[in-house]
Amino acid sequence: MKLLIIEDDKHLSDTIRETTQGMFETLQAFDGEDGLFLAEQNIFDVIILDIMMPGMNGYEVLKELRSSKIETPVIMLTAKDGIDDKIQGFKVGADDYMVKPFHREELLLRLEAMVRRAGGSFKENTLYFKDLKLNLKTKSAEINSEAVKLNGKQYDLLEYLINNKNTILTKEQIFDRIWGFESDTSTTVVEVYASNLRKTLKKYGYDNYIKTFRGLGYMLSEDGDN
Amino acid sequence: MKLLIIEDDKHLSDTIRETTQGMFETLQAFDGEDGLFLAEQNIFDVIILDIMMPGMNGYEVLKELRSSKIETPVIMLTAKDGIDDKIQGFKVGADDYMVKPFHREELLLRLEAMVRRAGGSFKENTLYFKDLKLNLKTKSAEINSEAVKLNGKQYDLLEYLINNKNTILTKEQIFDRIWGFESDTSTTVVEVYASNLRKTLKKYGYDNYIKTFRGLGYMLSEDGDN
DNA sequence: TTGTTTTAAGGTTGGTTTAAGGTTAGTCCT
DNA sequence: AGGACTAACCTTAAACCAACCTTAAAACAA
């Protein structure tokens, strides 16, 4: 699970990061521009977004993000308690809203609710694609009650693909999501893992749901023909 | 999306280029003459045009451009803040105006507004021509919900044609837009791709919307007869 | 050791480009 | 008007090349 915190107050950002560690793998952006750039990679499960920031503010970031058709759930943060802010926040597509300062537990509850609502799987720890069943907790997979042996990164790839079925994911997105931004390995590992995953899924005829789009990326498609 | 920056200050030009990367594919001209020449190719979606330049100044460039019936949206740049400049800029057909120095965000917002206003499709990621629907994000096409198989350059050509339907595009324009100025392949590829595109669209009876004008170029026309 | 991840190398696929011959639409001449 | 001529354009197929696939060995971690 990946969380992006866009917040110019470094101290608060770090506090959130610590509060949520264990639940999320966190990335921090300290201004709107960087935040937007990261968010547009579409590799996060939730975004915490401060409104008052120098330069590009939270509303602008969110507006941009939504108009790029990125639907990652967003929790807006603000110091003000005015109702106007809330209205404006929701109008541009915020999913939830928190007034600073807030309690640890409130944050955790809202995060949990957020992810769950987004079809996500927090307490729900299974994910399905046709007859393929992923257990998120144990990072294991099975097809028709038969266990499928997947190693760590293969599993990660499959989970990411299922979470984004029917949309093309670029090699860069996949790489950033699974290997992380600062990893210095080459993005060709993605090809290797795509190949590995297909190979292990072939046995069940699930390999040809993984389509490659030359020059664009990969997609897990619900129809296996072509 | 293509952006042309006509600005003699190389540093500023580069800054703009970096600011807009990801949004636009950028070309730079460092004086008015070169700028005008490039702009007249009519392959750009927006032009950023500095006023104060040695030689041909911004007003002159814009005036020439408009009298060649090129209606690409133009944002004028100036160091002065006088109201007179604004008036003169708009009189010769500028679409927007910015005073140096400006903020990153202001530029981005204006660019976006500009392209959107021009009927452009910025964050809109679908484009229509009759029953043909293009998905800009996945670079795919469908007619009446049936997928049409187009490879990269074929898709690019179709998109360019639709964006300029009912206007004739020369082979040079098409070539510059899709293959790029510095490409060293011959412009006859355009003919090949026109042929290919017609062939794949023939199945749906859409081939005869692509008209060729001997000695002039091609046009995507909304009426299929002659 | 054992299993996983990364790198490297060669093979394959399929989109792109080139080239060559065919077709069409204008132009000129009678 | 009709026919020959020509330049522009069309079509096809083979050659080329970049993206992608696959495999296996090397590096790393448990």
Mean pLDDT of chain B, nearest integer: 85
Instruction: Say yes or no: Cβ of B214 under 7 A from any atom of strand D.
Output: yes
CA angle B119, B24, B37 (to 5 degrees): 85
Q: Is A214 within 8 Å of A178 (Cβ atoms)?
A: no
State the pairing for strand pair A140-143/A132-135. Answer: antiparallel
- Best mutation target among B115, B121, B139 (most A Cβ atoms within 10 Å) is B139
Percent of chain A with pLDDT over 90: 36
> Residue A216, CA: closest nucleotide via C1'?
D19
| Residue-wise pLDDT tens digits, B184-216 | 888 899 999 999 999 999 989 999 999 999 999
Domains annotated for chain B, with CATH where assigned, are: 2-117 (3.40.50.2300), 126-220 (1.10.10.10)
CA-nearest of A103, A82, A108 to A3 is: A108
Q: How far is CA B69 from CA A20, A162, B215, B220, in A?
A: 58, 50, 19, 19
Helical ranges in A102-179 per DSSP H: 104-117, 152-163, 171-178
Q: Which helix (H) or strand (E) holds B61?
A: helix B58-67
Structure tokens given for B68: 């060649």
Do B139 and A214 lie within an 8 Å CB cutoff? no
Per-chain mean pLDDT for chain A: 85
CA of A41 to C1' of C12 (A): 31
DSSP string, A21-58: BTTBEEEEESSHHHHHHHHTT---SEEEEES--SSS-H
Q: Chain B contacts of A63, Cβ < 8 Å?
A: none
Range of lowest pLDDT (A131-140, B72-81, B117-126): B117-126
For residue A55, is it left (φ>0), alpha (ψ between -120 and 50) or beta?
left
Q: Poorest-confidence range of A1-10, A186-195, B176-185?
A: B176-185
Provide the CA A151 to C1' D17 distance, Å, integer: 35
Determine the distance in angstroms separating the CA of B6 from the nearest CA of chain A, rounded to an integer: 25
pLDDT tens-place string over residues B103-129: 776 787 778 767 766 654 445 578 889
Q: CB–CB of B105 and A55 under 8 A?
A: yes
Question: From residue B76, how far is each of A83, B14, B34, B52, B82 by CA, in Å?
Answer: 39, 17, 17, 10, 13
Out of A93-97, B41-45, B150-154, B161-165, pick the least confident: A93-97
Contact B35, B4 (CB under 8 A): yes
3-class SS at B46? strand
pLDDT of A226 above 90: no
Residues in B closer than 8 angstroms to A216, CB to CB, are: 138-139
Side-chain half-sphere of B105: how many Cα atoms within 13 Å?
Answer: 15
